[in-house]
Amino acid sequence: MEVFYLYLLCLFTLFTSLALHFIFYKRNSGSLTGTLPPGKTGWPFIGESFEFLSTGWKGHPEKFVFDRMTKYSSSVFKTHLLGEKAAVFCGPTCNKFLFSNENKLVQAWWPDSVNKVFPSSTQTSSKEEAIKMRKMLPNFFKPEALQRYVGIMDHIAQRHFASSWENKNQIEVFPLAKRYTFWLACRLFVSVEDPNHVAKFADPFNVLASGLISIPIDLPGTPFNRAIKASNLIRKELLLIIKQRKVDLAEGKASPTQDILSHMLLTSDENGKYMHELDIADKILGLLIGGHDTASSACTFILKYLAELPEIYEGVYKEQMEIAMSKSPGELLNWDDIQKMKYSWNVACEVLRLASPLQGAFREAINDFIFNGFYIPKGWKLYWSANSTHKNPEYFPEPQKFDPSRFEGSGPAPYTFVPFGGGPRMCPGKEYARLEILVFMHHLVKRFKWEKVIPNEKIVVDPMPIPAKGLPVRLYPHKA
């Protein structure tokens, strides 16, 4: 009899446990009853990383996304990228969802390759690092600060074109565009203006950029290994600059507000702690990459398309010459001049659509959630793709046609044109990039016409689009 009662007690306990589990599971999981997005995960560890990267190397980064959108008839598909389970989000609805749920359902995430190149960034979460940086940057990218930058940009652009373009019959555009944007970033972020000093950074920065988003295999000769070595070289140079700046600030030889570096050195957190020198070096390193690499790609493709489309060139030339003719000899460009460059900026936007430097970006799910009926588990990595809208005829009719008029009036539909991302994590340097691109266009068309040396030069994406041979062009200076 006792055995019978014990048996009943066990059954009751089991039933109660199952009932409680069911109740709490349903309460905690809410409506999370969807299935995982369709797709495949590819090979172990590598996943579909090779296909993801190789379509860019072949010049068609959108192919990875559009092939899978077609195959799975979905705006969301699963894959495995850079060692992580991932879902790729495609289209304006997906963009809106990810951008508007920042730090609610998703947060910024960088591949392991980035964390190893920037080792101090692993000491705190990417969310905390992003919050820190976004508290610091607005002072340097707000309108009154940007207005001060126009004259500096104009001055450096004049020096750049005089030293690297004028009196040349033929030049290679991409390295020179990088030199221009990097010079500006060095001047405005760390007050380094001497061309020889800037040149010390240039080569390792190129190596770093090409290996930053790569399969994190740390073996000699791999892009990832070269990127780590390059970052260490740059970091050492930045630490020398930081140490000297601390001395200069203490002796009154440097201004507390002259650049981002001074601000970082003099700003403490809520606990009164100041950033470590190595942490500052990493953040400056990241800013220098973000402050010049994407803009140099855009400037390069502006030359490409203006060479191919003489009617577009004439429109830009007319607008820029009206501004040039309104200036006194030696007078620098100002904020009002930039506001007059409406057609030029429409042209630049169409370049950013067709050859977006930012192909997309990663997020991480910080909670389980359902989107479009698909279950996204916590911890999955999410990738949004700029090309899923930029080159989609549903949002940009005849997507391969170069048409600046798309940006007239109210412009493209919301969340379809996303070269700078969107939401709380929209690139804080968007207006900075607009200035450096427009100042570049002004000096370019004011001085030259040009033609491509290689008519059908291949485009590769690694990780940004660049012409395979650097876009060599023949220059034809305007007659005085």
Residues contributing to the annotated binding site: 427
DSSP-based three-state secondary structure for 85:
strand
Rounded CA separation 245/237 (Å): 13
- Which residues lie below 8 Å from residue 398, measured CB to CB, with a gap of 6+? none
Q: Output the six-digit token pair for 335.
A: 């904020």
- Residue for token digits 């033609």? 451
DSSP tag of 213: S
DSSP-based three-state secondary structure for 30:
coil
Which H or E run includes 432? helix 430-447
C-beta atoms surrounding 186 within 10 Å: 26
DSSP-based three-state secondary structure for 244:
helix
381: which strand partners? 86, 364
DSSP labels for 449-461? Answer: EEEESSTT--EEE
Q: Output the six-digit token pair for 70.
A: 């077609």
Sign of the CA dihedral running 37, 40, 46, 50:
negative
Rounded CA separation 271/193 (Å): 35
Encode burial over 460-471: b for 16+ CB neighbours within 10 A, e otherwise.
Answer: ebbbbbbbeebb
Task: Compute the half-sphere exposure of residue 45: CA atoms within 13 Å on the CB side of its CA.
Answer: 4
Q: Are 4 and 41 in contact (CB under 8 A)?
A: no
Residue 372 has φ and ψ, to the nearest 5°, of 50, 35
Residues contributing to the annotated binding site for heme: 427
Q: Are 62 and 387 in contact (CB under 8 A)?
A: yes
Tell the burial category of 438 from Cβ atoms under 10 Å away from its Cβ (0-12, 13-18, 19+).
Answer: buried
DSSP-based three-state secondary structure for 269:
coil
**Nearest of 385, 357, 373 to residue 67 by alpha carbon:** 385
| 327 alpha carbon, distance to own chain's centre | 34
What totals of helices (H) and strands (E) does the chain contain, helices first?
A: 18, 12
Sign of the CA dihedral running 165, 441, 354, 215:
positive
Q: Output the six-digit token pair for 426.
A: 């929209």
Residue 276 has φ and ψ, to the nearest 5°, of -70, 150
DSSP tag of 120: G
